Each structure stands twice: as structure tokens, then as C-alpha cells.
């Protein structure tokens, strides 16, 4: 292999991949065959760190080619593995300089995030950053402005940016202004129609995990989630109830929202639903009457969870992962597998006929006799 490849040939390949006019998937495949060699990986990044910052092109084709190149040159997750060497110029003593590699990655990402991009490119770039690069880039604080700007975009882009912010806050102790206000604004009824709803509530649970957060902020999230539980699909209610339960477990002072005076009627609820600032909603003066309503829900999987407000809260938090991404089909299958008691009465008159629904799960549960 070392005789077949040279640094000049590798440089030509990288230039060809970063085409402005044509998608270069075939050339990507050529590089994919040799990128597992540590010296190839290092020299490819060395070339990318010179080419990409110098070329300010924001064309879609160019950006897609650059993203595909970043996908295959992502650093290995197992940092302790000893990679093979291509052996350029018969150099068998090459040692991968991980610190230098991190600096070159930072240089490339600085060049990419400051370009104009379509929503599709924006989403792809954020996903790639989160999954493969954020923990590898040298001094990733420069990504702050990009992530904060991305959080002002609606939808999945904002959620992905929120995840990036979460990682920087945890690993680099970076503070972001009004981060909880932004997170609060994302919890809208429309989010339950999106595929990223599970990711959003998983992140919200992480952001609200600190026991040192102001009670007013946590109360606002609990109350807004309770309101959402009356508007969302049944398959999403268990997730919201566990999310609220976790907030109450972390902040025992909020138990007053459960045991609030029964004289408080719904029309007199002090909660200011349209207030965007979670510190000014008066949620801590309200009660979680919404959960009390759900105790009477027709689905046992919901009513049983809602009854946590009638007893002492558990000492261990609820595991959100068990209910994230639940669907109506999951609820139906869970109910179907439960042991049946006495046969229920269905009608007072014997039916004469019934239409058969082929491949219908409901139909398979019935056995018609004459």
C-alpha cells in the first residue's frame, strides 16, 4: 500500500473530494479504504486544515462534500487502539499527535460554522459535531456563538444546539445567558408532533438535574409540563408524569404544589401560562391539579402513574428512558398482554354479522362464535 500511495496523491484526492460542482461519493470511497491508517488520518486532516479555511465557498454541493469528508475522517472512539500505518516515505516510526490533530479539527470547524448554510446542512453539521467531534476538538469554547445562534432556530436544530450547550456546560463550566428561558420556550404543544420530542425531554431532565436551581424555575417547568399532559397524545403522558415526578423528588419544597389548598379552583389558578420568563410565572403558588385529573384517565398505564401524587414520592428518580419514544402501539401491546379477568359484556343483542379486517391486530384478539 505504501508504494501505491504518496502524500501528493493523497493531497490530490482530498482536493478532488472538496469539489464545488459535483458530489464526490466515489472519491470518498477511495479515501474510506485507507483512512484507518493513522498516518493517512493525520495527513488528511493536515490538508483539510489548509484547504477548508482558505476556501470560503458555501455552495450546497461543496458543503455536502465537506460533511461527507468529515464523516469518514472522524477520530476513532477508542483512543487506546494502536492504528496501522500506511508508511509514507517508508516512515515506520510515525506516532499520531492527538493534540495537534485536535487543533487541526478546531481550525476546520472554525472555517465551516461561519458559513451560510441551508437548514439541511445546518442539521447535518450539528449532528456530526455532537456525535463525533465535540469531545475531540481542542478548546471547543469557540463553538459557543454557533450553538447559541443555532438555538434561535426552531425545531430539531435548536434541540441539537441545546445538546451541544449541555456538553460544554458540563465539561467546560461555561455559563450561557437565559438558557433556562430558552429551554422553557421549547416546551410547546407542537413539540409532541416532532420526532425529536424524546431527545428534548431527555435534555430537559439533564438541565434540571441540579438541586441548586431556583425553586421558581423548576416549578415553572413542572407546571408547564402538567399543562402539556392535558394536551398531548396519551402515549406521551407517562413521559411527562415521570419528568414532573423527578423534578419534585429533586426539590422537596415543591411538594406544596401537590398538597396545595383544595380551595384553589381551576379558574383561579395563579399560574401565568403565557409568561415566557420561568422565574415570573407564579407556578410555585399554583398546584398540580392537572395530574389529579389524570388519576381518572381511562388508560391504566396513565392513571396508575398519576397516582404518585397521592403517596410519598419515591426516593429514587423515575427512569425516563423506559418511556421515551413510546407510541400508541406500545400502549396497545402492553394492554393486550395483561391477564384478562371475567369476560366483559359487549352487547345485549346477538350480532348477525361483523366485517373482518385482514391483518388487523384488534381482530386477532376476538374469537367469534355462533
pLDDT at 369: 65
Residue 306: name the closest of 258, 354, 366, 255 by CA. Answer: 258
Distance of CA 168 to the CA centre of its chain: 15
Using DSSP's 3-state secondary structure scheme, residue 203 falls into helix
Q: Is the pLDDT at 364 greater than 70, yes or no?
A: no
Q: Which of 91-100, 177-186, 228-237, 333-342 has the lowest mean pLDDT?
A: 333-342
How does residue 300 score in pLDDT terms, banded at 50, 70 and 90? confident
Q: For residues 196-202, give the mean pLDDT.
A: 91
Q: Which residues contact residue 70 at a Cβ distance below 8 angstroms, ignoring those fewer than 6 apart?
A: 108, 128, 132, 133
- Classify residue 226 by burial, with Cβ atoms within 10 Å: 0-12, 13-18, 19+: buried
pLDDT at residue 122 in the model:
96
For residue 223, is pLDDT > 80?
yes
The answer to whether the beta carbons of residues 10 and 40 sit under 8 Å apart is: yes
What's the residue count for the chain? 370
Q: What is the mean pLDDT of the chain?
A: 86
- Give the pTM: 0.80
Task: Report the distance separating Cα 17 and Cα 15, nearest Å.
Answer: 5
**Burial zone of 137 (CB within 10 Å; 0-12 exposed, 13-18 middle, 19+ buried):** buried
Residues 6+ apart with CB under 8 A from 61: 19, 20, 21, 22, 23
Distance CA 60, CA 120 (A): 10
pLDDT value, residue 1: 45
pLDDT of residue 101: 92
Q: For residues 31 and 1, which has the higher predicted lDDT (pLDDT)?
A: 31
Output the CA torsion 314→325→64→116 (10° steps): -60
HEC letters along 322-340: HCCCCCHHHHHHHHHCCCC
pLDDT of residue 311: 78
pLDDT at 356: 55
Sign of CA dihedral 321, 310, 315, 281: positive
Q: 315 CB contacts (<8 Å, ≥6 apart)?
A: 249
The full set of domain ranges for the chain reads 222-338
Amino acid at each position: 500500500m505504501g508504494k501505491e500511495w504518496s502524500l501528493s496523491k493523497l493531497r490530490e484526492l482530498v482536493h478532488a473530494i472538496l469539489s464545488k460542482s459535483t458530489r464526490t461519493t466515489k472519491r470518498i470511497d477511495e479515501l474510506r479504504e485507507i483512512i484507518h491508517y493513522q498516518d493517512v488520518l493525520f495527513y488528511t486532516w493536515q490538508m483539510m486544515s489548509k484547504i477548508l479555511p482558505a476556501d470560503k465557498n458555501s455552495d450546497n454541493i461543496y458543503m455536502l462534500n465537506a460533511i461527507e469528508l468529515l464523516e469518514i475522517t472522524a477520530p476513532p472512539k477508542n483512543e487506546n487502539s494502536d492504528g496501522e500505518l500506511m508508511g509514507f516515505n517508508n516512515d515506520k516510526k510515525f506516532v499520531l499527535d492527538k493534540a495537534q490533530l485536535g487543533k487541526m479539527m478546531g481550525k476546520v470547524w472554525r472555517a465551516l460554522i461561519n458559513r451560510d448554510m441551508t437548514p439541511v446542512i445546518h442539521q447535518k453539521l450539528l449532528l456530526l459535531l455532537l456525535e463525533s467531534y465535540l469531545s475531540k476538538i481542542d478548546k471547543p469554547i469557540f463553538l459557543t456563538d454557533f450553538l447559541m445562534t443555532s438555538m434561535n432556530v426552531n425545531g430539531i436544530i435548536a434541540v441539537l444546539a441545546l445538546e451541544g450547550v449541555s456538553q460544554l456546560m458540563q465539561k467546560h463550566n461555561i455559563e450561557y445567558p437565559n438558557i433556562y428561558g430558552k429551554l422553557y420556550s421549547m416546551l410547546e404543544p407542537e413539540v409532541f408532533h416532532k420526532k425529536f420530542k424524546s431527545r428534548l425531554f431527555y435534555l430537559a431532565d439533564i438541565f434540571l438535574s441540579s438541586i441548586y436551581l431556583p425553586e421558581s424555575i423548576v416549578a415553572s417547568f413542572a407546571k408547564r409540563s402538567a399543562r402539556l399532559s392535558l394536551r398531548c397524545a396519551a402515549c406521551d403522558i407517562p413521559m411527562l408524569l415521570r419528568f414532573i415526578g423527578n423534578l419534585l423528588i429533586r426539590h422537596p419544597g415543591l411538594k406544596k404544589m401537590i398538597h396545595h389548598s383544595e380551595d384553589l379552583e381551576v379558574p383561579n389558578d395563579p399560574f401565568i401560562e403565557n409568561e415566557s420568563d420561568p422565574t415570573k410565572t407564579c407556578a410555585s403558588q399554583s398546584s398540580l391539579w392537572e395530574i389529579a385529573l389524570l388519576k381518572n384517565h381511562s388508560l391504566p398505564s396513565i392513571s396508575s402513574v398519576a397516582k404518585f401524587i397521592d403517596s410519598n414520592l419515591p426516593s429514587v428518580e423515575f427512569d425516563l428512558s423506559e418511556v421515551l419514544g413510546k407510541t400508541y402501539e406500545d400502549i396497545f401491546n402492553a394492554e393486550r398482554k395483561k391477564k384478562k379477568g371475567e369476560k366483559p359484556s359487549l352487547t345485549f343483542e346477538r350480532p348477525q354479522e361483523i366485517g373482518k379486517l385482514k391483518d388487523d391486530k384488534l381482530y386477532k384478539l376476538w374469537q367469534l362464535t355462533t
